[in-house]
Amino acid sequence: MAESPLVHDWNEAEPRPAPPHPFELLDETLRDGLQSPSVVHPSLEDKLELLEHMRAVGIQAVNVGMPGSSGRLRDDAIALCRHIRDHKLPLAPVASSRTLPGDIERVAEVVQASGQPLTVCTFIGSSPLRQRAEGWDLDFLLRTCESALGFAVRQGLEVAFVTEDTVRTPPQTLEPLFRMAVRSGARSLVLCDTVGHATPAGAASLVRWTCQLVARLGVNVTVEWHGHNDRGLALSSSLAALEAGAHRIHGCGLGLGERVGNTSMDLLLLNLKLLGWVRQDMSGLVSYVRKVSQACQVPIPFNYPLAGGDAFRTSTGVHAAAIIKSLKQGDTWLADRVYSGVPASECGLTQRIELGPASGMSNVRYWLESRQLPADEALCARILDAAKRSDRILTEEQLHHLVREHLRGLAPRSNAGSPR
């Protein structure tokens, strides 16, 4: 948020400088986002449109799916990669794969068919919980992963090694796995909070430990963070992971994903902008969220930050009066901030004043004047009385009906039929 003598920002009491290292954002909407039990799988046309929205908001990488899961997903991944190639989109594609040669071959087929290089994110569960459930041990993990990563490298793929449930895996398991991955040719280590267990402190600790291990190994390997939101901490944990040294953060539009979802990509971008860590234009961010909602047929909650219907909407008299006074001073900067922690105008939106039971006369006058309707005392009183007696916000149709009724009552009556 812009500096101003009007804002004493307690957030700056302990400053959070931008991470000193370059970082990127990877959009998982078209892979992990579609694992939500409530979404509808988008058409290919919708997926292609989503690529354009990702480009518009400055996302650098995209997961094009898991080609080994089905023929449709393989074909869609090919089409998405061709679109990226043909339109020269600044999006680095990745595809997910189990640590199985068959899955990895499907990813290689996508590269061959599209002519677009991509990274294979090959994953396996690493935590003791997963090992117990599967009947695995560390030797099995090392053998399986070393074979799979070597196979992927021989296919000419760049490799990211993904450990599921990393946040609940002890270092005595992670260190040999990561050493093996680096030795086998992995260019990135992806740390996963698969079940949304991590707190911000836990995320930061894991990322720092991994970065220190990479430094000791003396290799050029990046560290990525993939978070889920089961405890409602995905966004804050992702920011903590970024500060701790992560080079790439994953997220999904509208926070979609398995169970309660992933880190919200749109809210991550919004907060990176407000922190001053990125500088890209955010005017397309709401359009991105709406496209995700439409493509996946998932409604945007009314109280969802930024893109929700109530994000910049108020009917409360005191709040509305302060916004209206700011606007009458010609100070849109002030109007955007006096009752909002997110400047609507920076995201291509405006403050909205409504009328309901908690409204005051300033709401009524503003509503009428902004629609170039007469704001005489009788009409204002009539509308305010209706708002106070209502149990919810009055709709535009109800308000215009009140105006029409009032104006009809003021019209001169015809003399036809009057007594002589």
Answer positive or negative: Cα dihedral of 392, 397, 399, 401.
negative
Is the per-residue pLDDT at 411 higher than 90?
A: no
Angle, helices 234-244/265-275, rounded to nearest 10 degrees:
50
User: How confident is the model over 281-295, as pLDDT tens digits?
Assistant: 999 999 999 999 999
Place of tokens 């909602």: 293
Between the CA of residue 181 and those of 41, 119, 122, 132, 213, what are the distances in Å? 33, 15, 11, 22, 12
First vs last C-alpha separation in the chain = 72
Question: In 262-301, which positions are buried (b, 16+ CB within 10 angstroms) versus exposed (e)?
Answer: bbbbbbbbbbbbbbebbeeebebbbbbbebbbebbebebe
pLDDT for res 416? 40
Count CB-CB contacts under 10 A for residue 392.
Answer: 9
Share the mean pLDDT of the chain: 94
H-only helix segments in 59-199: 71-86, 101-114, 128-134, 138-154, 171-184
Q: DSSP assignment, residue 54?
A: H
Phi–psi pair at 65, nearest 5 degrees: 125, -165
Check whether 419 has a pLDDT greater than 90: no
- Which pLDDT does position 267 carry in this prediction? 97
- Residue 418: predicted pLDDT: 36
Of the given ranges (188-197, 352-361, 405-414), which has the lowest mean pLDDT? Answer: 405-414
Instruction: Spell out the domain ranges in the chain.
Output: 19-296, 313-410
- Across residues 256-265, what is the average pLDDT? 97
Binning pLDDT at 50, 70 and 90, where does residue 13 land?
confident
135-166, pLDDT tens digit by residue?
Answer: 999 999 999 999 999 999 999 999 999 999 99
69-112 residue pLDDT tens:
999 999 999 999 999 999 999 999 999 999 999 999 999 999 99
CATH number of this structure's domain 19-296, picked from the four choices 3.40.800.10, 3.20.20.70, 3.30.70.580, 1.10.40.60: 3.20.20.70
Which residues, including other chains, have CB under 8 Å from residue 188's CB and lie 6 or more apart?
Answer: 119, 159, 160, 161, 221, 222, 223, 224, 247, 248
pLDDT attached to residue 3: 66
pLDDT above 70 covers a percentage of the chain that reads 97
Mean pLDDT of the 241-252 span: 98
pLDDT tens-digit profile of 347-358? 889 899 999 999
Q: How confident is the model at residue 346 (pLDDT cuts 50, 70, 90)?
A: confident
pTM as predicted? 0.92
Asked if pLDDT for residue 417 goes beyond 60, the answer is no
8 Å CB contact between 273 and 280: yes
Lookup: tokens for 321: 């009066």
pLDDT reported for residue 308: 94
Q: Distance (Å, rounded) from C-alpha 101 to C-alpha 122?
A: 10
Q: What is the pLDDT of residue 359?
A: 94
pLDDT score, position 413? 53
pLDDT of residue 412: 63
pLDDT at position 5:
85
Could you report the per-residue pLDDT of 23-55, keeping only the tens digit for each?
999 999 999 999 999 999 999 999 999 999 999
Give me the mean pLDDT over the 394-401 stretch: 95
Contact assessment for residue 359 and residue 320, using Cβ atoms and an 8 Å cutoff: yes
**Per-residue pLDDT tens digits for 375-385:** 899 999 999 99
